Amino acid sequence: PYQPRNNHDSLLSRWQNRTMENLVELHNKAPVWNSDTQSYVLNFRGRVTQASVKNFQIVHKNDPDYIVMQFGRVADDVFTLDYNYPLCAVQAFGIGLSSFDRVPLTAI
């Protein structure tokens, strides 16, 4: 794990001060409006086949067309996960797994 030498070198402090060397900033890809389906959609290029609130794509800050990771539903209780550099399998799996840590509003 990343261990800062002092409080000024923490990930939060570095992000707030925009001292981003040796860090990679990633973002969720914003969906686009599809007037045919009257919904926001992402292009998973056939890898994700079912709509789900858990479907997402992560892109590099400097190249929004470079999909670093995508995760989505392909059947009931079945999901697919694709990842690219700079993520490794463990990082991608952890990010994908975190999408299951959401409590439905009906359960509150």
Q: Where are the domains of the chain?
A: 22-102
- What does the pLDDT read at residue 23? 82
pTM given for the model: 0.78
Q: How confident is the model over 58-62, as a mean pLDDT?
A: 94
| Tens of pLDDT, residues 3-27 | 778 877 888 888 888 888 888 889 9
Asked if residue 83 lies in contact with residue 49, where contact means CB atoms within 8 angstroms, the answer is no
Mean predicted lDDT score pLDDT of the chain: 88
Asked if residue 71 lies in contact with residue 96, where contact means CB atoms within 8 angstroms, the answer is yes
CA distance 60 to 68: 7
Q: How confident is the model over 90-106, as a mean pLDDT?
A: 82
- Per DSSP, 64 falls in state E
